Structure 1
């Protein structure tokens, strides 16, 4: 393999872990240690704790081969999640595959906002739409947390809908989520309590500058948010008012430099709503929330 000699000559699992971590760091992988742990766990058919239990052991020949092949794939830009075949989100494992956005930890904020709104409003049987569902992460996480919730999940990509259905079956919530191949809210009817989503939010002219692991593997469709990174958000908000109940909520993830522009779009589309810009633990803009029925219209 390319890394080369230090990895191929490592005699124990621990030495392999150290050598591969050092090599990936040289390639610019900021999460090299955990990435190597995950690849070793896959190669050895154990969890990460199982890797640590065998640090002093020599890897079996087939384990070493499987690990080195996976390490080379990752070095060529393939995301760890696609190599392993899954990613954890909100404490749940989700199957992932190329072309469908990998769930991100920061998107868990959207789930937390939805669950908080359900609690605050005392909704016994909330009706929730997850727009741009991808792997189904938001819809499934909410459905698992609120057994009485009725979910509707849309995505323009048929591959995403197929994957989301598979994940819903895996987590035993398929009967409570209706999946629809649709552009944003096209074709959705009824009255809903919450509209949530992680829509594409990277400006078109910035997409070309992204790492190949994003554009080549996850696909432009899941990333490109139009000229200012908010085109899908603007279109969704134009559709949302007709579908929300009088006490409903919209919460959408945004890029960390789009806070002011996003809140302006929300305020224009939903002038009778209370608009909040939500930040993550590092103080970065992460989402915008609009709650109807919380104040008088101007």
Structure 2
């Protein structure tokens, strides 16, 4: 009969043969989720019998992983900012690097401020900010109805649905503001780099959330151009970016003439990750 040890061994071997980078970890995560347990249980009870139906369903999941489908889509969940988020193929899987965007937004936000999250996807950034800044009012937009539904579900799951308003909109379309902080993790993979992405990203995650025309900064440029109309004087624009886009975006922000205090924040791998700039305060008199 199959045991936890034997099914993990078989799944790990299968994933290894298909070239997955972390076969044992993937097998453990998938089995934990299928059994509704944690990895400690797997280690403590390796000889526990696993029923045929469980083995069959689990190995179907392993088959999906063999085809490069991300684990987060298989189990339907990904943790971000220590909060579990439901995810599916309509939304980008939240990345740890994007937590830098949340950190920087918290640095500049004030109690009771108005925050806009543009292109919210799963709602990860908006929900994380609402949890950290309970007096803030957060609006989160996405052009995808399916993504907006997922984000709304995640806001409810996290207990912040009363503080996060989900709006179906293309970037800043139809938004009046004014906002104290605008954050965005826009698509920024350049055209010539898209085909070089890992197959699990390229073939499964929504292309419109990854790819941007030309050098990958087209959406950033639109936000830089349009954000001042709905930013309060002294309000902040923060955007995630690719690691070779800092100079380009800094130049665009400087040339715009309506921003100051332009700065770049690196991620924990030392790569340029977030660009932020303040809407200049208008002095009167």
- TM class by shorter chain equals over 0.9
Residue 229 of structure 2 aligns to a residue whose secondary structure is: coil
**C-alpha separation between the residues in 2 aligned to 1:266 and 1:91?**
33
Which residue does 1:195 correspond to in 2? 182
- Structure 1 CA distance, aligned partners of 2:19 and 2:183? 34
Instruction: Give the Cα separation in 1 of the matches to 2:9 and 2:99.
Output: 31
Task: Name 1:145's counterpart in structure 2.
Answer: 132
Q: Does 1:184 align with 2:174?
A: no
Alignment of 1:74-223 (within 5 A): 74-118=65-109, 123-223=110-210
Tell me which moved more, 44-53 or 198-207: 44-53
For residues 270 and 195 of structure 1, the distance between their equivalents in structure 2, rounded to whole angstroms, comes to 18
Are the counterparts in 1 of residues 122 and 147 from structure 2 also a CA contact under 8 Å? yes
Contact kept in structure 2, 1:156 and 1:182, CA below 8 Å:
yes
Match of 2:15 in 1: 24
TM-superposed CA distance for 1:98, in Å, is 1.1
Q: 1:167-193: CA deviations, max 9, x gaps?
A: 111112111111111111111102111
Query: Is 129-138 or 175-184 further displaced after alignment?
Result: 175-184
Q: How many positions carry a matched residue from both structures?
A: 283
- CA 99–215 in structure 1, closer or farther in 2 if over 3 Å, else same: farther
Question: Offset at 1:15?
Answer: 4.0
Q: What secondary structure sits across from 1:214 in the alignment?
A: helix
Alpha-carbon contact 1:99-1:217 (below 8 Å) kept: no
Residues 44-55 of structure 1 correspond to what in structure 2 (within 5 A)? Answer: 44-55=35-46
**Offset at 1:220?**
1.3
Unaligned runs of 5+ residues in structure 2 are: none
**Contact preservation (8 Å) 2:72, 2:87:** yes
Moved over 6 A (4+): none
Residue in structure 2 matched with residue 273 of structure 1 by the alignment: 260
Partner of residue 68 from structure 1, selected from 59, 63, 71: 59
In 1, the alpha carbon distance for the partners of 2:268 and 2:154 equals 28
Partner of 1:152: helix, strand, or coil?
strand
State the partner residue of 1:13: 4
Query: Is the alpha carbon distance of 1:129 and 1:24 closer, same or farther for their aligned partners in structure 2, counting shifts above 3 Å?
Result: same
Shift in CA distance, 272/250, structure 1 to aligned 2, threshold 3 Å = closer
Quickly say closer, same or farther: Cα 1:16–1:271, change in 2 above 3 A.
same
TM-score, with structure 1 as normaliser = 0.88
2:237 to 245, 250, 257: 250
Q: Which stretch has the larger CA shift, 269-278 or 137-146? A: 269-278
